[in-house]
Amino acid sequence: MQGSTRRVGIMTDIHRRFLQLLMTHGVLEEWEVQRLQNHCFKVHDRNAAVEKLEDFINNINSILESLYIEIKKGITEDDGRPIYALVNLATTSVSKMATDFAENELDLFRKALELIIDSETGFASSTNILNLVDQLKGKKMRKKEAEHVLQKFVQSKWLIEKEGEFTLHGRAILEMEQFIRETYPDAVKMCNICHSLLIRGQSCETCGIRMHLPCVAKYFQSNSEPRCPHCNDYWPHEIPEVFDPEKEREAGVSKSTRKSLRSRQH
Amino acid sequence: MLQKPRNGACASAQAHSSRDLGPVGDTGVLNVSSGPSSSKDTLNSSSQGSHSSQTATYPGLRTQKQLELKVAELVQFLLIKDQKKMPIKRTGILKHVIRDYKDIFPDLLKLAVERLEYVFGYKLVELEPKRNTYILVNALEPLEEDASVRGDQGTPTTGLLMIILGLIFMNGNGIAESEVWDFLQRLGVYPTRKHFIFGDPKKLITEDFVRQRYLEYQRIPHTDPAEYQFQWGPRTNLETSKMKVLKFVAKVHNQDPTDWPAQYCEALVDEENRASPELSGPILSS
């Protein structure tokens, strides 16, 4: 049985406060998680050395295992920044997001999800999503209302919007990867490098294999002649930079500026 | 009621109302199926194991794993319900989570309570004796510094609630609604005007806070037109105390709690009663 050989850690108030506050977020970037950990140590035991984040989280996860949840780490598809979310391990169905969304809203999300997965670019246009409002389960929803609901999804970090098109937020991928792979086995795309679910990325124009942007960045790092790992053809796309948290801090670039600098790639 | 398994997977519990379970906290932890009419009914359980509707009819044949999963579901349910600050009904727990595990409900609840406390630092407390409704009370002390690392701005309405709790206590544990509005209007909060933070303050105070059991809102008898008064609700006594509220009021006025001798004495008595509940008399009507 899972976890039977793994040594289970111990919860202290530091861990509990960390979990409580973590649960107030939908998803966190690594620096935010680090800040949260520092805060909890400071509050409960100023003198204790702050444990290495990875060990701290593994410790908590060993205890969460019996509750079938875990603090999961992933990276964003656009620029490879590490993110964390508390996810459910027990079931693989679409997140109900039930406390925040009604039945028809959840169905709208499901429809958007399907369009995103089926698309070539990983984006679904607002128009195409809104055209499906008549097919939604539950209370009838008008297009105007649906627009508002889509914005709710963006605000709560389930979807990302770029120029009128929607794709999955890193949070949604972290939460739903298993469900998506099991529910849409024929439509899902996978990354040739990390073998995880791929919603957005670059693809080889010759053989069609796909890679996440951060996976491309890592794989072709300091390679002046990038070639497809599968068919060896010249890789035709711009190679992004590997995410460097230090560089980002130094640059002091505001979040909003960074967002506008990111460009969409096929 | 036995559910027919679909596609060999187990529909049992999951095929019920599609709104059973949802995110843990705000994190959107996954759960539950997408409802019986979904064409993709490959949902529910992962490959690791499943809720078998068949074994559920033979209690005692449940596996360790099934029991663990049930406790996990229960923990998540309680966390989610409490996130909305709505009291949790025992009937709700039985209907939405326990279902055909009813025979071992007390044991499941006991395990869930233990996990909630050990892992998350929340205590499951009965809101009012014999009413079979519960709330979660934080075993950890909420700190001001937490605000900077929270994801949900706590509840911006907490400040407003504290003010009202203060008004009630300082006025002798009850205050007429009209007096509350007289005070709030000085802060720019009106019953009839939309507020940029609180939205509909009248609804918030007379409905939401009451439903969440922070306040009691009762008609003052023999008043015409009807006048209402506020008192502390049962949740308030569990989540905070007279002393804490007095300290808040003192802070707001930049004074010391002892500057209000009557209220200070009352708060001290309350502190003593909390420390040794067996010594206190019948529940004080505060």
Question: Residue B6: its pLDDT value, please?
Answer: 38
Q: Where residue B210 falls among pLDDT bands split at 50, 70, 90? A: very high
Min distance A214 CA to chain B CA atoms (Å): 24
What pLDDT does residue B115 have? 95
Residue of A nearest to B81 (CA): A99
Phi, psi of A179 (to 5 degrees): -60, -45
pLDDT at residue A101 in the model: 84
Cα(A67)–Cα(A3) distance, integer angstroms: 12
Is a pLDDT exceeding 70 seen at residue B135? yes
**Weakest-pLDDT range from A146-160, A244-258, B112-126:** A244-258
| CA separation for the pair A212, A218 (Å, rounded) | 10
Task: Show residues of chain A in contact with B15, CB under 8 Å.
Answer: none
The residue type at A6: R
Is the per-residue pLDDT at B42 higher than 50? no
pTM for the complete prediction?
A: 0.76
The confidence band for B116, taking pLDDT boundaries of 50, 70 and 90, is: very high
Mean pLDDT over all residues of chain B? 77
- Give the pLDDT confidence score for residue A84 in this predicted structure: 96
Question: A108 — contact with chain B (CB < 8 Å)?
Answer: no
Report how far apart the first and last C-alpha atoms of chain A are (Å, whole number).
Answer: 42
Indicate yes or no: CB of A90 within 8 angstroms of CB of B23. Answer: no
Give tens-digit pLDDT for A16-75. 999 999 998 989 999 999 999 999 999 988 788 888 999 999 999 999 999 989 999 999
pLDDT on residue A3: 45
Check pLDDT > 60 for residue A254.
no
Lowest mean pLDDT among A161-170, B24-33, B176-185: B24-33
> What is the rounded average pLDDT for all residues in chain A?
87
pLDDT at A94 over 80: no
Task: Provide the 10 A C-beta neighbour count for residue A13.
Answer: 16
Buried-exposed string B217-231: b where 16+ CB fall within 10 A, e elsewhere: beeeeeeeeeeebbb
> Cβ–Cβ of A171/B28 closer than 8 Å?
yes
Q: Contact A13/B150, CB-based, under 8 Å?
A: no
Q: Which residue of A has its CA nearest to B45?
A: A91
Question: Between B137 and B147, where is the model more confident?
Answer: B137
Residue carrying the six token digits 């919603």 = A199
**B285 or A178: whose pLDDT is higher?**
A178
- Is pLDDT larger for residue A237 or for residue B99? A237
Cβ neighbours of B30 (radius 10 Å): 26
Angle at the Cα of A59 from the Cα atoms of A56 and A61, rounded to 5 degrees: 110
> Is the bond leading into B282 cis (omega within 30 degrees of zero)?
no
Q: Taking Cα atoms as reference points, which of B244, B248, B227, B247 lies closest to residue B236?
A: B244
Residues of chain B in contact with residue A90, where contact means CB-CB under 8 angstroms, are 31, 45-46, 69, 72-73
- How many other CB atoms are there within 10 angstroms of residue A186's CB atom? 4
B218 to A166, B166, B200, B207: CA distances (angstroms): 49, 18, 20, 12
pLDDT at residue A117 tops 50: yes
Contact residues on chain B for A94, CB-CB shorter than 8 A: 30, 34, 43
Is the CB of A95 inside 8 Å of chain B's CB atoms? yes
State residue B234's pLDDT score: 92
**A103: chain B residues, CB-CB within 8 Å:** 18-19, 35
Answer with the residue of higher pLDDT: A153 or A46. A153
Interface of A with B in 41-70 (CB under 8 A): 43, 63-64, 66-69
How many residues does this entry show for chain A?
266
Average pLDDT over residues B62-78: 88
Answer whether residue B14 shows pLDDT above 90.
no
Per-residue pLDDT at A11 exceeds 70: yes
Pick the residue from chain B with its C-alpha nearest to A28. Answer: B151
Position B197 scores a pLDDT of: 81
Q: What is the pLDDT of residue B46?
A: 36
Across the interface, whether the CB atoms of A98 and B23 are under 8 A apart is answered: yes
Residue B72 and residue B104: Cα distance in Å, rounded?
Answer: 15
B122: helix, coil or strand?
Answer: strand
